[in-house]
Amino acid sequence: MNLYPSLIATALLGVSFTVTVTASPSIVDLSAELQYSDHHNVSPGAEALLGAIGASSDNIRTSMVLEHGKIVTSYVRDDLDASDTYNIYSATKSWMSLIVGMLIDEGSLSLDEKLGDVFDSNNSSVWANVEEAGYVQSVTIEEILTMKSGLVDPPLETHSDVDWEDPTSYVESLGGVHNYGGADLVDSLDYLDVGGTRGEFSYVLVSQILGYVVLERSGGRTPREFANERIFPLIGIDPGKIEWDENEEGMQHSFTGLRLNPDQMARFGQLFLQRGLASLGSRVVSEEYVEKSLSTQVGASSFFPGMSYGYLFWKIDGAMMGMGSMDCAQGFGGQTICINDELDRVAVLQMDVGLSEEEYGMTMFRLALSAFSPATTFEGYGDGEENASDDEAEDSAEGDDTSDSSIMRRTFGPLLLAVIVSLFFD
């Protein structure tokens, strides 16, 4: 990956950004139906977002934005239903962070606890077949959450059944029941290599370890069983309406495979925006853990400029793109749940896998800027204003729209986007 920080700086020279007053998050009851705004899909912000979708690839499946806990805009592609679920891929990791946080809150687990303590280091039936047992035993829960353990994914050729040049093959390899990442506890502990620098960020794509940590410290419950009992009902998700890929042993994957619809994804984002409250009288996870999850625990600018990492959450410095700071659960191919505290917004996106890297980058940029620009309003039109027709909305996305968000996209967006694409995808 080639990095050109000076080019980023050049792209941003002369660009001024709107100062935004921090909004207190609206606390809504997530166990109830999400409410629609009075201006749902009829506002400058909604038209900007829907226009951006119209100007993007047909690979966009769904999109939804909540502001102050209400749905201000939503989109579902014509061939889909809003209730359809889809793999959120690595955004599953952020759900695992939530479960780990709950175990920490109740005292069943601690951040500084080592894997050798979780899985008794004297248990030869576990560790005798783990090649780097001594090192893996020393890895802490916090190091796993922050990707600072020094453990790395094995070489791609380890998975000879996957054509890594073909994303569709990759997706198929992760479907249903598979042992990618480990068929059982021992296999999972032995899966990763020791190849990174401990204390530095090194993103681990595949790891089953946290699922077995949950099993060990939650009284024998798998991640799904734990979520079925203690998370899904509190945030309005019917456990019977989701799927979660698992290995042959019945352990849900810690790194991928949770299949959700946009409403369910938005509820997760709103839970973190509400700092762990499912409602005013119901807490799922402590505010302290949420703050740590969404705070910079390690820099990740080597992975992508302006990014850092919390506890299995990405933190994006949106100022470089004319937006506030965003905290995101991100998954392969564009599956995204992002929150913005300053604007009190949640944005979710689902995309079919298969876009080129350049198309993917452009689509993500357009939608994020439309959803999280401080200049974007979802408050509806004032007196004397009329919303654009569908045709006009499409035209505005392609040409003469003079809304603030469009001006921002057209003035510095293309230049910065070109820089981002060249940095990230070369």
To which residue do tokens 């790395």 refer?
152
Arithmetic mean of pLDDT, 122-141 = 93
Mean pLDDT of 342-358: 84
On the question of pLDDT at 2 being above 50, the answer is no
Name the average pLDDT for the chain. Answer: 81
Q: Given this model, what pLDDT does residue 89 score?
A: 92
Tokens of 402: 């003079």
User: Is 60 exceeded by the pLDDT of residue 395?
Assistant: no
Separation between Cα atoms, residue 60 and residue 349, nearest integer Å: 8
Weakest mean pLDDT among 111-115, 124-128, 411-415: 411-415
Q: Give 133's pLDDT tier (boundaries 50, 70, 90).
A: very high
- Mean pLDDT, range 147-170, rounded to an integer: 74
The two tokens of residue 364 are 């993500």
DSSP letters spanning 46-109: HHHHHHHHHTS-TTEEEEEEEETTEEEEEEE-TTS-TT--EE-GGGHHHHHHHHHHHHHHTTS-
In this prediction, residue 383 carries a pLDDT of 47
Give the residue extent of every domain in the chain. 5-84+261-276+298-425, 89-258
pLDDT score for 392 = 41
Is residue 307 classed as helix, strand or coil in its secondary structure?
strand
pLDDT score, position 163: 64
Answer yes or no: is pLDDT of 324 > 90: no
CA pair distance 104, 108, nearest whole angstrom: 6
The answer to whether domain 89-258 has CATH 3.40.710.10 is yes
CB atoms within 10 A of CB 23: 14
Higher pLDDT, 242 or 97: 97
Average pLDDT (6-24) is 35
Q: pLDDT per residue over 201-215, tens digit each?
A: 999 999 999 999 999
Stronger pLDDT, 250 or 395, i.e. the higher one = 250
What is the structure's pLDDT at 65? Answer: 95
Given pLDDT bands bounded at 50, 70 and 90, which one contains residue 422? very low
**Who has greater pLDDT, 383 or 90?**
90
pTM: 0.84
pLDDT of residue 160 exceeding 70, the answer is no
Would you state the pLDDT for residue 140?
98
Task: Please give the Cα distance from 327 to 319 (Å, whole number).
Answer: 13
Which residues partner with 246 through β-bridges?
177, 252
Structure tokens at 69: 């806990």
pLDDT of residue 162: 61
pLDDT-wise least confident of 12-21, 129-138, 332-341: 12-21
Q: Is the pLDDT of residue 393 over 70?
A: no
Reading the block at residue 275, the tokens are 């700092």
In a 3-state reduction of DSSP, which class is residue 321?
helix
What per-residue confidence (pLDDT) applies to 164? 59
Q: Give the residue, 376 or 143, on which the prediction is more confident.
A: 143
192-241 residue pLDDT tens: 999 999 999 999 999 999 999 999 999 999 999 999 999 999 999 999 99
Q: What are phi and psi of 338, to 5 degrees?
A: -125, 145
